[in-house]
Chains A and B, each alone.
Chain A
Amino acid sequence: MSFTDFLSRHANEILQATLEHVWLVGATMALAIAIGVPLGVLVARRPWLSKPILGSANVAETIPSLALLGFLLPVPWLGDRADRLAITALTLYALLPIIRNTAAGIAGVDPAVREAARGMGMTQRQILFQVELPLSLSTVLAGVRVATVLTIGIATIAAAVGAGGLGEFIFRGLAMVNNQLILAGAIPAAALALGADFLLSVLERRLRPAR
């Protein structure tokens, strides 16, 4: 059976797995942005927090992904559902680039702009939301892009705990020594990664402030 025959016969299954994959990645990114951006702001505001926060995110990054899933499995509420478990683990991986880029973006705002903002009587909150975050948006987005591509790849591991996604094909293929099955998971995952990378880089360029 040729690979194209194989694909057409399993088209529904592949589509199903791709949608699951997109859901895992989308939920992960929403969570990682919701946690990572505030942490990045905190790092930029309080330099003494930079070591503990970036350090922890760095450590999370170094734990092998299968091991991380294993560590999280016995955690009460998390271990109850496979997708909950997978999204938590993936979020831990996605945090570092988002925190780092948010902090760098805010630190990169022209000091003259910040001083003018303070001098004109903007509150800290106004400076953050009206000046610092809009001006660091493209840098933050660059971090989101890196994290998204990373997450699409790592999310294939989620199948190991039964959370579904394109990893299902890869694990099945490995078990059955069937390259076609492996490719049926790997190719859509790669395409997703490339597509996300392209879309986000376009968005990033459009949001880059003019100089």
Chain B
Amino acid sequence: MSAATSAGPETVIEFRNVGYRLPGGNVLLHGVSFTVSRGETLVLLGRSGAGKTTALKLINRLTEPSEGEVLIEGRGTLDWDPIALRRHIGYVIQETGLFPHYTVEQNVLLVPRLEGWPAERIRSRAGELLALVGLEPAQFLQRYPHELSGGQRQRVGVARALAADPPILLMDEPFGALDPLTRMELRREFVALQERLRKTIVIVTHDTSEALLLGTRIALFEAGALKGIYLPREFLLSSEPVASAYVSQLHALEEFERGK
């Protein structure tokens, strides 16, 4: 592992020797330790079944560790009230999980409403949020999710996760289901948004270029284990076999493009 794994100024998320086993005995994650500092974007990279989504769900306690512990702001997730913990953490998933029976406005305002914000603060918040993710409020607030394109839905998903201004944001392949051009657009906007908001973000992807573009650091998962944590530049130069496999796949694509 590289020097980049040492804890930053303030540790927000910490995995201490975390393992996760299914009730049937299948081990999905073992011996995982890492920290995420305030304001950084950690990308969990790995193939399907590598354990990265499991790791993500351990952070907002959608699953609980079988071994070790996960600390959020210094407190173990099992010591948090799960509801309070989850409202403290924004959550974006690939299929967006927008409520089909709610308008965009109702979807976006869900957490502020659950948190009992005063009415006038809630009202102005919806417009702010849509503007933040690049959607014209007047045009979109009253629409239903099925009246949106995939990219628009994903933007609403991000707006909903940011609604109560949580310090931590989890994203599970947020751009995975989009067409390549929309995906590129949203990634760029994500980078710009993160420069403004400085949230602590953990994002899951299996896409190497996405990991390099979005991540402050990249955590490489393979078969339930953490292979290493790299700065993007280190990742490109790494001699670790799995990491270099990802990088050579990227180079193969570039060579193919040059050859045309």
Within 8 A of A (CB), among B45-103: 60, 62, 82-88, 91, 93-101
Which residues from 97 to 133 on chain B have a C-beta closer than 8 Å to any C-beta of chain A? 97-101, 110-111, 114
* Closest residue of A by beta carbon distance from B60: A119
Interface string of A80-117 (1 = CB under 8 A from B): 00000000000000000000000000000010111111
A151 to chain B, nearest CB (A): 29
Q: In whole angstroms, what is the CA distance A155 to B30 when docked?
A: 62
CB neighbours of B62 from chain A (8 A): 115, 118-119
Give the shortest distance, in Å, between B114 (CB) and chain A (any CB): 7
Q: Inside 8 A of B97's CB, which chain A residues have their CB?
A: 110, 112-117, 119
Contact B86 A119, beta carbon cutoff 8 Å: yes
- Residues in chain B near residue A116, CB distance under 8 A: 91, 93, 96-99
| Chain B interface bracket (under 10, 10 to 19, 20 to 34, 35 or more) | 20 to 34
Q: Which residues of B contact A199 (CB under 8 A)?
A: none
In the complex, A135 has a CB within 8 A of chain B: yes
Is B160 an interface residue when CB atoms closer than 8 A count as contact? yes
Chain A residue with the shortest CB-CB distance to B94 = A112
In the complex the two chains form, is A120's CB within 8 Å of B91's CB? yes
How many A residues touch the partner, as a band? 20 to 34
Select A210's contact among B86, B146, B170, beta carbons within 8 Å. B146
Query: Would you call A209 an interface residue if the criterion is a C-beta within 8 Å of the partner chain's C-beta atoms?
Result: yes
Q: Is A63 an interface residue (CB 8 A)?
A: no
Give residues in A with beta carbon < 8 Å to B: 110, 112-123, 126, 131, 134-135, 209-211
26 A/B residue pairs, CB under 8 Å, sorted by A:
A110-B95, A110-B100, A112-B95, A112-B96, A115-B93, A116-B93, A116-B96, A117-B97, A119-B60, A119-B86, A119-B93, A119-B97, A119-B170, A120-B91, A120-B111, A120-B160, A121-B84, A121-B88, A121-B111, A122-B83, A122-B110, A126-B114, A135-B99, A135-B101, A210-B100, A211-B100
Q: A112-B93, A113-B100 are in contact. List 4 more A-B contacts (CB 8 A).
A: A112-B94, A116-B99, A121-B111, A135-B99
B-side interface residues toward A, CB under 8 Å? 60, 62, 82-88, 91, 93-101, 110-111, 114, 144, 146, 160-161, 170
